[in-house]
Chain A
Amino acid sequence: MPATPFPAAVLSAAFPDLSGFGYIKSGTFKAVHRVTTKAGHDEVLKIIRVPQDSGTDAARAFRDQELGRVKRETNLLADLDSPFVVKLGMIPPSMMDLAGETCVVYTEELLPGRDLEAVIADRIQPSEAEINLLLGSLVQGIQALWIRHKTVHRDIKPANIFATGFPDRPYVLLDFGIAYNVDEPGLTVNPSHIPHTPLYMAPEMLDSNFRESLSYRADLYAAGVTVFEFATGGIHPLAKPHDSLAKTYTRVLNQEPTRLASLRPDLSKPLSSLIDQLMKKNPALRPGNLTLILNQLK
């Protein structure tokens, strides 16, 4: 259930240097508002409600998990220097009390354009050049995350990609809330719970031992699925409408994805083959040399 947005009056009082507070969307714990800084910059204000510590061990552990995720996300964004990843805004992360609730708040840049989910909903089949641009942007974002930070985004999907229209950063990755650093201890309280979006998750994520071998190739898989959907105007390579969750998982694990060339025969064979290859079940079969991929897309 989405979090209830805070009233504008509460937000105005809490953030006297900001104005606007136009509501954008909510998640379970997160509310997102459009704001304008005193300097006149438009940014996105993120307000994350911290779960209450009711005194039990479970409640405390859950609160620590959520706080840890926010801290990890914001530290990562502060350190990442890639045009293909969203940047933090003027207000750094801090804890504050809003109407009696403890929250973590910070701002990110406001990107022009719209998210890729909305673009795909237009049901227009993009050109090969546009597909190259999307895939190239995603691969560069994945590369930035992995090379310096050994981090896997784990939630690449159309809703977490913004189409900006900027020539030097046409697509930008958002929402690093479940990003996972393979060199650091996991934050998830229940180890059998794997944060994910089923339609885009790599098959190896369904293995309870996935943390042993998880790498950027899981992100490449999700990028492949996303680009496939974009290229076909909204057709998922595996899932059918109205599939149950169990059916989706079965398809992710066992079913061969639709070949892109069967739906877009106009695309060049190298590009179709590359996108198909990114969706292989076996991670080793997804091309691991990101520089080679980027060279191919040039």
Chain B
Amino acid sequence: MQLLAQHGYGNGDKIERGLEEDLLDGVIFGAKDISPDKLVSTLERLEENQPNSVRLFDPQFYASLIAAQPGARLGYLVGEGSHPYFEARRRRDLERDEQVVEDIINVLNHQLALPVTALIAPNIVIRRSFDSIEGTIAKTFLRCAANEVEIDDGRPLYATLAVSATALSDKIEMQNFLQEITELENPPDGFYLLLEKPDSSIISPLTEPDVLSRWMLMSHTLKLNGFQIINGYTDALSPYLAAAGSDAVATGWYNTQKCFSLKKFEPVSDFARRPVPRYMSAALLKSIRYTELHDLRDLFPEVMNDLPQDNSYDPDEGSAPDSPTSEALQNWEGIKAMSMHAEEGDVYASLKNCRGALDDAEEIYARIQEFGLTMRDRSSAAHINAIREELDAFEELAEL
């Protein structure tokens, strides 16, 4: 399984360092946050310096339905010097097959000229339900993705499949949808799967029932039907998606790159505070604040990963990361460690590893609590039982 950077605002040297230090296998560039010229030069540089890296471009076409909103934050998707394929769309526009086909052609032709290692076809987010007009439009994008543009250089095509947590709540419609898209006459080579968390909370969907299990089911179902799967914005959920068969997972450095939401394109409704730097603990299966790390590391050294990026969290400096880049690198390092431990070749063994890791994490949290240390909600053990239940639910859904 590969770990990719989910590119976004404020890259700096994070991705290059991540690739150089073998923490990353590649990158998914987001159209909003990189100009067309910079995208080309960065891709060319990576192609030269990191020829084996995975280099992908997410056209972020799903923002087209938001683009007409006053105040929409679209970055390089619109305006002077923007990516040429992107335009605002209304839902009624995309109810016409001709418009969907035109957009697919524009997006893929744009990518054909880029030194990317695979192409990502556009789609919208299914926000309400699979059994909705959005679901029908999404299916049209999927059905047409591989039909319209000839890719004769052997590069694979991934179709975007973006679904909200709300849409996942209808299990029957989800299963019907999966049946249909795994019977396409001319299917893509794979899917770029995104789970949208509609609300603006920075907390990732670790504790919501039926979300992780159904995301895993989608990955698992598509994988056993022969598709390559890239799951975007996975962050701490990466090990479970790896267990479900994902070929690649992706995460970034800001919360907007760790959890997918269309909120980042919508007009600003409130102002986010700069988050407190965190440390991704493979043992706890979660990131904790650097201040919590500082309190714990001597009493409970097992919360540290014992990996190279730990050196960036100097206890003499209060265990704060020495730079935002170091924090990003450490996050990737921790996620890579968690995911490698989870993945075992078949889903049964992988789930067993995941459960073992949850048991170990629970034990550490219990000892921390016995010692009288309290952790903030976002760092607490609440995810452990929630994920256990989701793994059970996934097993049942996948008929394992």
Contacts and interface: CB of A to CB of B under 8 A. Distances in A.
B224 A283 contact: no
B399 A213 contact: no
Given A213-B176, A277-B224, A282-B175, A288 B182 contact: yes
B179 interface: yes
Interface in A208-230: 213, 215-217
A284 B217 CA distance: 10
A127 to B, nearest CB: 25
B80 interface: no
A97 interface: no
A295 B165 CA distance: 36
Contact of A281 (B180, B183, B224, B399): B399
Contacts of B397: 282
Contacts of B180: 213
Q: Tell which of A280, A284, A285 has the most Cβ of chain B within 10 Å.
A: A284
Chain B: number of interface residues, binned into ranges: 10 to 19
Q: Tell which of B175, B179, B180, B187 has the most Cβ of chain A within 10 Å.
A: B179
Contacts, number: 40
B183 A282 contact: no
Contacts of B178: 284
Interface string B372-400: 00000000000000000000000001110
A216 B179 CA distance: 11
Chain A: number of interface residues, binned into ranges: 10 to 19
A287 B226 CA distance: 8
B136 to A, nearest CB: 14
Contacts of B132: none
Contacts of B221: 284-285
B52 interface: no
A284 B398 CA distance: 10
Contact of B183 (A215, A256, A277, A285): A215
Interface in A227-280: 256, 277, 280
B399 A284 contact: no
Contact of B179 (A217, A256, A289): A217
Contacts of B226: 287, 289, 292
A287 B399 contact: no
Interface in B149-170: none
Nearest to B178: A284
A283 B180 CA distance: 10
Nearest to B184: A288
Nearest to A215: B183
A56 B19 CA distance: 79
Interface string A64-91: 0000000000000000000000000000
Given A216-B183, A284-B179, A285-B399, 14 more contacts: A215-B183, A217-B183, A256-B399, A282-B175, A282-B397, A283-B179, A284-B175, A284-B182, A284-B221, A284-B225, A288-B182, A288-B183, A289-B225, A289-B226
Interface of A: 213, 215-217, 256, 277, 280-285, 287-289, 292
Task: Report the 8 A-B pairs with minimum CB-CB distance, sorted nearest first.
Answer: A284-B178, A284-B179, A288-B182, A289-B226, A292-B226, A283-B179, A280-B399, A288-B225
Interface of B: 175-176, 178-180, 182-183, 187, 221, 224-226, 397-399
21 contacts: A213-B176, A213-B179, A216-B183, A217-B179, A277-B224, A280-B399, A282-B175, A282-B179, A283-B175, A284-B175, A284-B178, A284-B221, A284-B225, A285-B221, A287-B224, A288-B179, A288-B182, A288-B183, A289-B182, A289-B225, A289-B226
